[in-house]
A and B are shown apart, each in its own frame.
Chain A
Amino acid sequence: MTGLNGSGMSMAILEAKDLRRDFSGVSALDGVNLSAASGEVVALLGPNGAGKTTFLRLARGLIEPSGGTVSIDGCAARVLAARGGRGVAAVGDAWEPAGWISADGLGDLQASAGPFSRRIYGRWCEQLNLSPYKAFRQFSKGQKRWILCGLALATSPRLLLMDEPADGLDPSARLLLYQALRAYANDHDAAVVVTTHICGDVEKVADRVAIIDRGHLIVDAELETLRHEVRQITRPSEAGPIVPGNGCALEILGHRREGAVDLWWLRTSNPEALSSLAGGGEIRPVALEDLYLAVTAFRSRLENAS
């Protein structure tokens, strides 16, 4: 099931088409089409093992696609990576430097690789009062992430790929981080792709959300669009399944039976037309987290049934 691309942006920096990657015969990503345009923050949401990190590794050019393509500004990600990947910054889960190096040393290392603003980096680290001379291994998990995010931002990239960037940060730091990412995307016309499994973070920072599960992209839409178009319908189970009818652009995103009642998560460009389907049942807007859980559970049941 593919999501509708609702970006509406004309300049895609990152573009993945029918992207596939297998590991030892097992498909980690299958037919993913996703893009990120300049000025846009895309949140990639999915459970553990969904393929988020694999997508980021492919986007950064660290691994080879088994099928399809992924390009950055028109250049294949693998080619760009081998050339150094200028203009792309990535913070990966467990992509950490050697423990002996200090924050200052990291700055030196990054500076020797390409354009780097020590001023931005220095101010970034000062926000959390991080000592520049302490060995990396001596920082906490969140502090490490903070430093790595600072390194990425200070290179002024066109594309930021962040895998769980707020992992380990306290709520205030998380807020600071997402605000910074948001501001960066706006101010620099950069594209930011953030992976997370925390829906609250998505709502703080993202323009668009893509839900990925078991290697497949299930939902890809702007947040506002989802708020407008996705509804949850509660109706009696005896009413039977909802079948999309002619003339009604309707997508079933999720379904759950609770006793004698069926809960349906539907997406339509005309939510007012859903009342006929509710059959007297309740229609209400859906929070992102709720949608995410329903979508992933529904998918899981469908796959088990097949």
Chain B
Amino acid sequence: MRFFHPMLLSYLGRKTVWPTLLGAAGLAIFELFPSAPLSGREMLPAAIIVAHVAWVSWALARLDKGEMPFLYTRGFHWDVIWWHRVAVAALSALAAIAASSLVLWLGLRTAAQIGMGDSLYPLVARRESWAPMYWLVLYVLLLPVGLYAFVRAEHEAPLGGLWLAIAIGPTTWFAWNLLAGTAGWLPRALMVAGGCVVVALLWAGQRLHRNVEVAS
């Protein structure tokens, strides 16, 4: 079985153009304005990321539109379709991260802050370069939840994914605060656990995806 299909990627990717553009623009524009150095833990980008993830997951999961039955009847293994959905979502996230990173690394934020008279710049810009990486971690945690939630919604008790999202969100927040402040075995254990949850969600999503109903 061939695993990578650029045409399939492109076909699915077109469904995520708007959320990608708006997610990337949202993060990039947000970055220009706060006067305090970005830490990656601001609430607004987190909200943008949650919205982006939800929109992308929803767009990729709309199996009722005619495009999807067409796609699912072309002959692709459904696991291949699933992993291409994951890849498209990941690329969407990476595009948003790339846009926000460029705003920082090309000095656009610094220039904007200096233009706004912020005396902290350009010096404090050096502590912001990792902010997009925190957002990337958030994407890595939330995208599998979103993808899983929507494929889970095709089965019985469809809100199961939503409850998971509600549990994982605050837990991630608390664990994030803990991780940022300490070292030792507990933060490492939580990171490993988070990684396992991510992998488990994607794997379970693949299995559930095999039994979705592609309606028209």
Contacts and interface: CB of A to CB of B under 8 A. Distances in A.
- Quick check: do A and B touch in the complex, using CB within 8 A? yes
Interface string B201-213: 0000000001101
A96 interface: yes
A101 interface: yes
B72 A97 contact: no
B77 A100 contact: no
Interface residues of A, number: 32
A44 to B, nearest CB: 17
B166 interface: no
Contacts of A101: 11
Interface string A51-93: 0010001001011100000000000001001111110011011
B67 A98 contact: yes
A96 B75 contact: no
Name the interface size band of chain B.
20 to 34
Interface in B58-76: 66-67, 69-76
A78 B2 CA distance: 21
Contact of A63 (B2, B15, B76, B214): B214
A262 B75 CA distance: 52
Contacts, number: 84
Given A78-B211, A97-B67, A112 B77 contact: no
Contact of A98 (B14, B73, B210): B14
B74 A109 contact: yes
A82 B67 contact: no
B7 A95 contact: no
Interface in B77-132: 77-80
A63 B8 CA distance: 22
A181 to B, nearest CB: 17
Contact of B78 (A84, A105, A109): A84
Contact of B216 (A89, A94, A155): A94
B215 interface: yes
Contacts of B8: 109, 112-113
A93 B67 CA distance: 11
B75 A90 contact: no
A108 interface: yes
B58 to A, nearest CB: 16
B51 to A, nearest CB: 23
A92 B214 CA distance: 12
Interface string A138-167: 000000000000000001000000000000
A60 B73 contact: yes
Given A62-B69, A62-B215, A63-B214, A155 B14 contact: no
Interface of A: 53, 57, 60, 62-64, 78, 81-86, 89-90, 92-98, 100-101, 105, 108-110, 112-114, 155
24 contacts: A53-B216, A62-B69, A62-B214, A62-B215, A63-B213, A63-B214, A82-B211, A83-B77, A83-B78, A84-B77, A94-B66, A94-B216, A95-B69, A95-B70, A96-B70, A97-B70, A98-B11, A100-B14, A109-B7, A109-B8, A110-B74, A112-B2, A113-B74, A155-B75
Interface of B: 2, 5-8, 11, 14-15, 66-67, 69-80, 210-211, 213-216
Given A83-B78, A92-B70, 20 more contacts: A53-B216, A60-B73, A62-B213, A62-B215, A63-B215, A81-B72, A83-B77, A84-B78, A89-B73, A92-B69, A92-B216, A95-B69, A98-B14, A100-B14, A108-B7, A109-B7, A112-B2, A113-B5, A113-B76, A114-B74
- 6 shortest interchain CB distances as A-B pairs: A113-B75, A114-B75, A82-B210, A95-B69, A62-B214, A84-B77
